[in-house]
Structure 1
Amino acid sequence: MPGIPSFHAIAAMAVTIAMFVGFARGRLSVEIVSLLTIAAIAVGLYFFPLEGTSPTDGLALAFGGFGHYALITICALMIMGRGLVVTGALEPAARFLERLFKINLQLGLLFSLVVTFVLSMGVNNTPVLVLLLPIFVALAQRGALPASKTLIPLNAASLMGGLATTIGTSTNILVVSIAVDLGMPQMGVFHFTPIVVAASLVALPYVWLVMPRMLGDNRVIEAASLRRFETRLRVSEGSPLNGRPLAEIASRLPADIEFHDVPRGLLRPQSRLRMTGTHAAIEEAMRVLRGDAAPSWVIDRIRRKASETREDISVVEMTVTADSRLINRTLPSSGIADLYGVAVIGIHRPDRLLGEKDRFTDAGDLRIVEGDVLLVMGMAEELQAFAGGDSLLTLEGKRELPRRSKSILAAGIMGVSVGAASIGLLPIAISALAGAIAMFLTGCVKFDRVGRALSAQVIVLIAASIALGRLIDDSGAALWLGQVLAHGLQYLSPAMTLAAIMLFVTVLTNFASNATAATVGTPIAFAIASQLGLPAEPLVLAVLFGCNLCYATPIAYQTNMLIMAEGGYAFGDYVKTGVPLVLIMVTALSVGLQVVYGL
């Protein structure tokens, strides 16, 4: 019978429970609970150091998470993901999935889950999720399922796929290596794949159909996004509309684009199409139709200047005030492009002004009145000069246009970084950091925009989880829990023994770390097999499976934390969706092991 745990082990378990309760209750923010956890560890170990350590060693343990390679890796992956988004590198993949989601939302999600699972079997699941994360964020912005309903299911699929082979996750490799050192034969890459695939098929309906319904919608619909702007699109020589009727192309455009007074017959260069749509829809229509909503010469000048100065092109919304000189003028007569070098690509007229007489000139141009909202494209300096010079009020709703000239470069950097990690050429931490640096040096991501890629909530949470994991390991709490487990398993059947080992390791991995769970659990499995006269392999596989069932908390695995900010998730979202999945997988995997090994 195991003895009483040490004072430090009891304290480590108490801090773990307190942190879990703090997260689950939700009265304090994730950042506050995380910082309180770090503070408790630091103060406690300073006044009551671990045996054989000094007070300063305790401070190093408490604050070491801020410099840990796992945190650096996740920050680097976030930066690379930002690079793919701002350059538009993922737009082709996003458009393909968008078409699939338009056919059927559930079909699109099922296809995505299966692809994620299969990719994660052969490629480390972390790079797979890194590639998919910005795609599904972009899909949410295009009107598909919100990111909050897709990212946790996708993460679960990547974890299940990573579980299926010995190379799917670094934890699998660690468990297999420890088992070989203890005398077990080497396992092949697909040694236990059939068991995992069968269990995943059992869990798939829950992940596909139930999980999304348990998660809220994190989309924020701003008033600015509901404004509809009127514009005139000019058909260019290279436009797909050149020589064709509009009806042939209309299906490729956003659903909320509406055309008015469409010319009959085939369209020709310099034809002008009057259309209305939202800010994002107009930009998408300009891209698809390769047309301009303002004079081509000013748009070309803006793009040249952006290329020379390496600055972003922005599109902002400005409202016309009573003092503006633009009132009663039209865009052609306003001289905006000549005076300021900006392009007005749309005008929104508030509902209260829609009934005005003399709305259009004889040439069909809209007269500007007080209260109109202009959609203006240009560089930051010129936009500011335009707003100040013509008495305009800048509104929210600013969008920076993707730097598409760097999209291939950003995709190449991500591909090389992910590829190097996937084939084992470099550790994921080194390849991700090198990729993030390359994104900076090539201008795909700008230094002053790093804050948009990183989440303070995730950073503090990772640092706290790393410190807590080390405390559980160094204090002996994990070892003591393992001894208690080993003592109790002698009274259970072989099938229940497998499930108990898997659940124990699952709890450990969700509150400490995969490495701790693998390091502690694998030798315990061998010892239990010897004591109970059971084959070691199924018990070791129970440990390996348990190490990967990290669905129930955001601190359990790095991909859990990677999706937290983009999905807008709270701690409770992981608990309510992850615990049922853990129970389903534990049951299915335990039955699979029992059947395969004849226990």
Structure 2
Amino acid sequence: MPVAMWLTIAVILAAIVLFSTELVSLEIVALGVLVLLMAIGLLAPDTQLTTESLLAGFANPALLTIIALLVIGQALFQTDALGGITKAFERLWPRHPSRVIPIILIIAGISSAVINNTPVVVMFIPLLTAVAARRKLATPKIMMPLSFISILGGMTTLIGSSTNLLAAGIALSYGVTIDFFAFTVPGLFMAGVGAIYVIFVMPHILPSRMNEKGQEVQARNLQFITEIRLYDGHPLIGEKTVAGMFPKFTKMTVRAVMRGYERYVPPFEDMTLRAGDVLILAATRDQLTDALKEWRAFDNPRISEDQDGPTDHGIVLCEALVPPGSRLINNGIDQRGFLSQHGCLILGIERRSRMPRESLSEIRLDAGDVLLIAGRSSAINNLRGQQDVVVIEWSASEVRPHRFASRAQLIFAATVAAIATGIVPIVFAAIAGAFAMLAGGCLNVRQATRAIDRRIFLLVGSAIAMSTALETTGGAAMIADVTAMTLSNVSPAMVMSLTFLIVAILTNFLSNNATAVLFTPIAISTAQAFGLDPLPFVVAVILGANACFATPIGYQTNLLVMGPGHYRFKHFFIAGIPLILIVWIVFSIVAPIYYGV
């Protein structure tokens, strides 16, 4: 047993080093850990470290819950189900978008005090994603702060996290009662100081825009020329000019209005838009996409349905370059011909030399022009083999029609209500919600698959295997015994402080629930040895077990934001370790004073 235990500890330490340094890809390290732990189990059969127990992590309810919630979040983003809320936040300080994020984070932290922090993060991930997309903010700078501030909020009340309830239940079996506000005062101090770091310091530590490969992405803000024809019933009909401009177009520039054979250019004097008008607009891709969504242009697209099957309602937008030698050069844009030949529409043209005022059919294309094209996924893929346009690989993105938004909102609300009330297990509610999103057409299987990050799947599975191996081989019990012996000859206040720190370190590598289970009895016995009330020492375990900021495997909210933020293991180390030290110092000062230890 000792040999197997020390081998297991060596494997875990090596995995932590490799995860944090990223000398080897995360996927290879996770699979290597599983292979080595299974080998230890085969070489030491008396440890009961079986292959089945090590692989059980891949069927763990927590992992399945995270995957299902990621699918639900992707459905909300695809349908723009939170568009109304994001627009409400958008109206707050329109000239200072950076002020909106702290407000959302503070609301999330307060909510986590009275609602389990997992559903809080589930609710706010799509909201922050949408707000960041509209405000052109870097998602990696706000996703990890969301997880951390929800954890901090969960430290203030008994129901803030499942760890609090679990540790309180174990303490009650030893005759120690933990009431609802037993650790609210030290928790508030820790949450307050920690929130200052999370909101104002962490964004400067975290990376900027990152893609799935951890590479920085530069945003494109160049403008496309497009034309909008006002058909009967269009929401812009009846719009009047004010001071020569159209108030509706605050984010886009109206280059010209075509009415019959007449062309009107700014400033527009006493003009009212009517059916049949054609607007020539200049707008960025995001501004144009948002406007077309608002005008319901994607709800009944003029694009053939036989491309991806009848259940694929999504439209893909991409940018394509007109190369030298293209047959499109010196020709106007023939929408009917392009649609019949390629199954796509050309929404706009980006030209760096000048901004034309003509309609798309009148603009003669040049080599180097960039076209904004909309079509089904398979039609866009077919364009990649054409010689007349070169699809820019990173530019493709999907747009979902608004008609699925209310359906997605209803499913999401039902899922969150089921999780928050606890009427069904969280894993059941999450999987049922993901199924409803797929069955209801809010996203297709391809989009759901993209929402699942393989790094999270392998990381969680290998982390649970490491935790299982450490407990099975006796390593966890050995660490707990050594901790108890070490703390036997120091002052009570120092015992509380060191207990918090040790638990905080271990909770980032074991599960926080396992750490709470191991150390709650130790804290109670230590307090009894000092002849003191066990409550402060149990609180040290509870709050320490919540300080899971240094690794993504520390708590499931960290795993939830790992994919949307495109984080690597090292990002949690860099941003999380200072926060652990901050809350430890605050606890060490406030808790002994508050509890009179």
Report the TM-score when normalising by structure 1.
0.88
Residue in structure 2 matched with residue 378 of structure 1 by the alignment: 375
User: SS of the residue aligned with 1:150?
Assistant: helix
Q: For the Cα contact (< 8 Å) 1:165–1:189, is it kept in 2?
A: yes
Q: CA RMSD in A?
A: 3.2
What is the deviation of 1:435?
Answer: 0.8
CA distances 1:449-492 after superposition (whole Å, capped 9, x unpaired): 33310111111111111111111222222222222222222222
1:98 matches 2:90: yes
Cα distance in 2 for residues equivalent to 1:548 and 1:253: 48
Pick aligned residue for 1:231 from 222, 226, 230: 226
CA shift in 2, pair 1:50/1:144, >3 Å: farther
| Matches for 1:457-536 after TM superposition, within 5 Å | 457-536=455-534
What is the deviation of 1:114?
Answer: 1.0
CA shift in 2, pair 1:20/1:266, >3 Å: same
Q: For the Cα contact (< 8 Å) 2:238–2:273, is it kept in 1?
A: yes
CA shift in 2, pair 1:380/1:547, >3 Å: closer
CA shift in 2, pair 1:258/1:140, >3 Å: farther
What is the deviation of 1:406?
Answer: 1.1
Pick aligned residue for 1:10 from 6, 11, 21: 6
- Which amino acid in structure 1 is aligned with residue 270 of structure 2? G
Residue in structure 2 matched with residue 142 of structure 1 by the alignment: 134
Cα distance in 2 for residues equivalent to 1:558 and 1:34: 17
User: SS of the residue aligned with 1:218?
Assistant: coil
CA distances 1:204-252 after superposition (whole Å, capped 9, x unpaired): 2211111111111134676894543211233454425623226799677
Moved more, 378-387 or 478-487: 378-387
Cα distance in 2 for residues equivalent to 1:21 and 1:150: 26
Cα distance in 1 for residues equivalent to 2:167 and 2:381: 59
CA distances 1:538-577 after superposition (whole Å, capped 9, x unpaired): 1111111111110011111111122112212222211121
Q: For the Cα contact (< 8 Å) 1:87–1:403, is it kept in 2?
A: yes
User: SS of the residue aligned with 2:515?
Assistant: helix
Pick aligned residue for 1:202 from 184, 188, 193: 193
Pick aligned residue for 2:72 from 80, 88, 91: 80
**5+ residue gaps, structure 1:** none
Moved more, 508-517 or 568-577: 568-577
Cα distance in 2 for residues equivalent to 1:46 and 1:362: 73
Residue in structure 2 matched with residue 278 of structure 1 by the alignment: 284
What is the deviation of 1:111?
Answer: 0.8
- Which amino acid in structure 2 is aligned with residue 374 of structure 1? L
- Which amino acid in structure 2 is aligned with residue 504 of structure 1? I
Residue in structure 1 matched with residue 554 of structure 2 by the alignment: 556
Moved more, 537-546 or 10-19: 10-19
What is the deviation of 1:591?
Answer: 2.9
User: SS of the residue aligned with 2:362?
Assistant: coil
| Matches for 1:87-126 after TM superposition, within 5 Å | 87-100=79-92, 102-126=94-118
What is the deviation of 1:390?
Answer: 9.6
- Which amino acid in structure 2 is aligned with residue 196 of structure 1? G
Q: For the Cα contact (< 8 Å) 1:101–1:109, is it kept in 2?
A: no
- Which amino acid in structure 1 is aligned with residue 522 of structure 2? I
User: SS of the residue aligned with 2:494?
Assistant: helix
CA distances 1:3-60 after superposition (whole Å, capped 9, x unpaired): xx93333233222221111122221122222222112111111112343x2xxx5212
CA distances 1:180-218 after superposition (whole Å, capped 9, x unpaired): 111113x33333223211221122221111111111113
CA shift in 2, pair 1:227/1:184, >3 Å: same
CA distances 1:106-151 after superposition (whole Å, capped 9, x unpaired): 4223212210111111221111111211222233333443111111
Q: For the Cα contact (< 8 Å) 2:73–2:122, is it kept in 1?
A: yes
Cα distance in 1 for residues equivalent to 2:496 and 2:324: 76
Count of residues in correspondence between the two structures: 580
Moved more, 138-147 or 582-591: 138-147
Pick aligned residue for 1:543 from 541, 544, 561: 541
Residue in structure 2 matched with residue 346 of structure 1 by the alignment: 348
User: SS of the residue aligned with 1:461?
Assistant: helix
1:317 matches 2:319: yes
Q: For the Cα contact (< 8 Å) 1:542–1:590, is it kept in 2?
A: no
User: SS of the residue aligned with 1:277?
Assistant: strand
Pick aligned residue for 2:182 from 173, 181, 191: 191
User: SS of the residue aligned with 1:191?
Assistant: coil
Cα distance in 2 for residues equivalent to 1:238 and 1:137: 29
Q: For the Cα contact (< 8 Å) 2:251–2:283, is it kept in 1?
A: no
Residue in structure 1 matched with residue 35 of structure 2 by the alignment: 39
CA distances 1:398-447 after superposition (whole Å, capped 9, x unpaired): 22212321111112111111111111111211110111111121121212
CA shift in 2, pair 1:242/1:18, >3 Å: same
CA distances 1:80-101 after superposition (whole Å, capped 9, x unpaired): 1111111111222233333436
Q: For the Cα contact (< 8 Å) 1:299–1:343, is it kept in 2?
A: no
CA shift in 2, pair 1:189/1:371, >3 Å: same
Residue in structure 2 matched with residue 266 of structure 1 by the alignment: 271
